Amino acid sequence: MRIIWQTASGQPTDFEQQFLREVVFAETPHEAHFDAGSCVAPAENALIVYSSFDARPPQALRDYLARSPGHSLVHISDERLQHDPAQYTRARVVLRSYYDPRARKDHVFTLPLGFQSGFLNTSGDVDLDAKDMVWCFAGQMKSNRKKMLAAFTEFTACKVHLTTQWTDPNALSVDAMASVYRRSIFAPCPFGYRHPDSFRVMECLEYGCIPVVVTFLGDDYFRYVYGGHPFVVASTWAKAADHVRALLTDPSALRERQRALVEWYARYKRDLALDVRDILQGAHHDRLRSKQFHLQKAGMRARMVARYNLYFGHGLIRRLFRNYAHAFS
């Protein structure tokens, strides 16, 4: 299969390229072509990667898709579903980041956000005995992250590195952060800029670090992306810290949880790659291996859709609802 990146050269293309090529498409024979958004590379029956959070993609891209019969899409960066899902109608298959029940179509599948290029643990080695820190966090202070840090302060064996912006020049390098994950047992994973998913979830998984997350709008969001995952999930950060404390006081249970995580993650990536191959070959979602794809296709709950509409809406109502949702985490 020909995979065409219609993203600008540099970070917009490079950031997720390793995740897409070496994990998502690991079982899909492909040839990569980088068109840098010029929309000139022939794309009949190709898989087109593009990044957009606008309601309508640029006219040049829409024209390009219209003259590319049989194409499939990989759509990244649409954190709030501002993109009109009607734009997907010409595509044979759509693989997108950021699960949202409002984008539920038979040919639309949600992938995990993935990791920044460079985080892939190419050796596959995870030394559980090398984990001498309880937890770690690197990132900006926003949303409910103050509550997260407050809840975890009792666990003093940790690494916290705060930044002030996305791609902060003072951020830890990929190699330095990977080393921190190798040494950490847990990684609290607060919401990203607008959405529950963040790159740190899969980045920490690469090194056998247990993600700790809180529920989103009363639900375990990550089961729609990771299926039957072994993360620590709680309704609040205080309760998440309670779960961590309980595991730390039971070394055998903790070691079993760690081993289960490493084994589960290897299966998860293998099944994801095989399912993406099969999806692109026309397999129905009922025949896929990954539990998350079955959950994505299950019947929508009206309450769930209504909450997503409120949370990702616009104006004062959105701000009030977001503040209300975060107040209880």
Give the pairing of strands 31-34 and 2-5: parallel
pLDDT(301) > 80:
no
Q: Which 3 state secondary structure label does DSSP give 268?
A: helix
Tokens representing residue 53 in the block? 């959070």
**Angle between helical axes of 237-248 and 145-152 (0-180°, round to 10):** 30
Q: How far is CA 118 from CA 22, 101, 115, 122, 124, in A?
A: 11, 31, 8, 9, 14
DSSP-derived secondary structure letter, 286:
G
pLDDT tens sequence across 265-279: 999 999 999 999 999
pLDDT tens sequence across 121-151: 999 999 999 999 999 999 998 777 999 999 9
| Distance from C-alpha of 145 to C-alpha of 149, rounded to nearest angstrom | 6
pLDDT at 324: 66
Class of domain 128-267: alpha beta
Q: Are 232 and 244 in contact (CB under 8 A)?
A: yes
CA angle 221, 223, 228 (to 5 degrees): 155
Q: Please count the other Cβ atoms lying within 10 Å of the Cβ belonging to residue 279.
A: 23
What own/partner pairs with CB < 8 Å and gap ≥ 24 does 82-85 have?
82/53, 82/54, 82/55, 83/52, 83/53, 83/54, 83/55, 83/56, 83/57, 84/55, 84/56
3-state helix, strand, coil in the chain (%, to 5): 40, 15, 45
Closest CA to 146 of 246, 238, 243, 248: 238
pLDDT tens sequence across 19-69: 999 999 999 999 999 999 999 999 999 999 999 877 778 889 989 999 999
pLDDT at 54: 78
pLDDT at 167: 80
pLDDT tens sequence across 173-200: 999 999 999 999 999 999 987 789 999 9
Q: Are 157 and 185 in contact (CB under 8 A)?
A: no
Residues near 187 by Cβ (< 8 Å), separated by ≥ 6?
Answer: 135, 136, 137, 181, 200, 204, 209, 210, 211, 212
pLDDT tens sequence across 96-121: 999 999 888 899 999 999 999 999 99
* Residue 325 pLDDT class (50, 70, 90 cuts): confident
- Percent of the chain topping pLDDT 70: 97
Domain with CATH 3.40.50.2000 in the chain: 128-267
Q: Which 3 state secondary structure label does DSSP give 250?
A: coil
* Residue 300 pLDDT class (50, 70, 90 cuts): low
Helix (H) or strand (E) holding 162: strand 158-163
Class of domain 2-111: alpha beta
pLDDT tens sequence across 228-256: 999 999 999 999 999 999 999 999 999 99
